[in-house]
């Protein structure tokens, strides 16, 4: 798949997840073969105020390219300015958030609320395309609610504005992340636009990815929640779709080694104190499915240093073997 002039070499990509898809996690997922990853959403308005934290969300590492920076906002001029800043940070792709359901985002007319106004979506894409030569993508939902299912209309408006690809999450804003992902709407978008379509929603293994790709005809899939504590999902999907090989997840020791290296990377970027605080949930996700997981996950919620994590790993290992 090509998004503008950017070649994406794998059929499975990492979706943006606020508070989760930081530089370290994206690097880990890329190392397992994610086609590309995206930063969490960054506020165009906050960037216009020179907000330091927002700029830090856009920091990319050398090894993760191609990488997308996701922006949210509803003012074409501010979004165009934010696109220039994202380009300066080295974004290979700039994605527009048109799907976030959170009240503090949607009630401000941004995120999923943009889908209520396809003409504004078109204007925003157009303004950003005029500002940068970086490919622009949009990440939309099925619609705002069951009474307003307009993913096809919004995707077409964005294509007219110059979008280079569209990512479709097959749920409405009203559904948040519950209920079923509607593959028919992804198929309908694929049939209605000429740009690449990336399907998103509930892809977690070979079977669900195969269904998404086969049924909808989409060009690639985006994986979000299934990558948590499970970044090797990209290797499993790639091996299957590129080489026809079914691979198993790593064994116990390898899983724990991957977790350790991931969290060490987080700490190298954020410092040990902040890094460990932010990694507690990641550790808990990695420990899912282990023998004694409930207790260990509880402990993960209290780790404060890398040494705490090393000790936890030793105990988890001992417990698996006894």
Ligand X SMILES: Cc1cc2nc3c(=O)[nH]c(=O)nc-3n(C[C@H](O)[C@H](O)[C@H](O)COP(=O)(O)O)c2cc1C
Does position 122 interact with ligand X (CB under 6 A)? The reply is: no
**211 lines the binding site for ligand X (CB under 6 A):** no
What track of x and - describes contact with ligand X for positions 63 through 92 (by CB under 6 A)? -------x----------------------
Any catalytic annotation for residue 100? yes
- For position 200 contacting ligand X by CB under 6 A, the verdict is yes
Closest separation in Å from C-beta 186 to ligand X:
12
In whole angstroms, how close is the CB of 47 to ligand X at the nearest point?
15
22 binds ligand X (CB under 6 A): no
Identify the residue among 83, 100, 154, 189 touching ligand X (CB under 6 A).
Answer: 100
268 CB burial (10 A radius; 0-12, 13-18, 19+): exposed
Is residue 177 near ligand X by the rule CB under 6 A? Answer: yes
How many CB atoms within 10 Å of residue 21?
23
Q: Rounded to an integer, what distance in angstroms lies between the CA atom of residue 44 and that of residue 42?
A: 6
Comparison of 168 and 312: residue with beta carbon closer to ligand X: 168
Name which of 153, 152, 154, 83 is nearest 121 in CA terms: 154
Would you count residue 203 as binding ligand X (CB under 6 A)?
Answer: yes
Q: Are 228 and 251 in contact (CB under 8 A)?
A: no
Residue 188 interacts with ligand X (CB under 6 A): yes or no: no
**What does the buried/exposed string (b/e) look like for 289-312 if buried means 16 or more CB atoms within 10 Å of the residue's CB?**
ebeebeebbebbeebeebeebeeb
Contact 221, 240 (CB under 8 A): no
- Minimum CB separation from ligand X for residue 19, in Å? 7
Q: Does 169 bind ligand X (CB under 6 A)?
A: yes
Strands (E), the chain: 2-3, 6-7, 12-14, 37-43, 67-72, 93-98, 136-143, 165-172, 197-200, 220-223
- Given 29, 67, 100, 218, which residue is catalytic? 100
Stated as kind and residue range, the H or E segment containing 186 is helix 183-192
Q: Contacts with ligand X: how many residues (CB under 6 A)?
A: 21
For 84, other C-beta atoms within 10 Å of its C-beta total 14
| Shortest reach from residue 138's CB to ligand X, in Å | 10
The reply on whether position 228 binds ligand X by CB under 6 A is: no
Give the interface segment with ligand X, choosing from 1-9, 199-207, 230-238, 253-261 (CB under 6 A).
Answer: 199-207
The C-alpha atoms of residue 15 and residue 213 are separated, in whole angstroms, by: 16
Stretches 26-34, 149-157, 200-208, 251-259: which one binds ligand X (CB under 6 A)? Answer: 200-208
Residue choice 23, 139, 173, 297 for contact with ligand X (CB under 6 A): 139
Which residues belong to the active site?
A: 100
């Amino acid at each position: 798949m090509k998004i503008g002039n950017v070649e994406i070499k794998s059929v499975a990509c990492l979706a943006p997840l606020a508070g989760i898809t930081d530089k370290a996690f994206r690097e880990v997922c890329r190392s397992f073969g994610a086609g590309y990853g995206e930063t969490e959403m960054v506020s165009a308005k906050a960037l216009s105020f020179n907000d330091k934290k927002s700029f830090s969300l856009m920091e990319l590492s050398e090894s993760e390219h191609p990488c997308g920076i996701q922006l949210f906002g509803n003012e074409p001029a501010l979004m165009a300015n934010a696109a220039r800043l994202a380009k300066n940070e080295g974004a290979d792709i700039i994605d527009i958030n048109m799907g976030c359901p959170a009240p503090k985002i949607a009630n401000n007319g941004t995120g999923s609320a943009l889908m209520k106004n396809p003409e504004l979506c078109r204007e925003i894409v157009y303004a950003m395309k005029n500002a940068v030569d970086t490919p622009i993508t949009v990440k939309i939902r099925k619609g705002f609610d069951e009474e307003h299912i307009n993913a096809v209309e919004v995707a077409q408006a964005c294509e007219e504005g110059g979008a280079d690809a569209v990512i479709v999450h097959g749920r409405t804003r009203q559904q948040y992340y519950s209920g079923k992902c509607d593959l028919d709407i992804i198929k309908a978008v694929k049939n209605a636009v000429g740009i690449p379509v990336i399907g998103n929603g509930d892809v977690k293994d070979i079977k669900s990815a195969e269904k998404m790709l086969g049924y909808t005809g989409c060009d690639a899939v985006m994986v979000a929640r299934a990558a948590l504590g499970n970044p090797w999902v990209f290797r499993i999907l790639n091996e299957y779709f590129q080489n026809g090989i079914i691979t198993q997840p790593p064994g116990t020791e390898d899983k724990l080694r991957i977790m350790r290296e991931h969290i060490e990377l987080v700490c190298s970027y954020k410092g040990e104190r902040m890094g460990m605080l932010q990694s507690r949930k990641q550790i808990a996700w990695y420990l899912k499915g282990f023998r004694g997981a409930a207790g260990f996950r509880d402990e993960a919620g209290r780790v404060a240093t890398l040494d705490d994590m090393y000790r936890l790993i030793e105990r988890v290992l001992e417990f698996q073997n006894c």
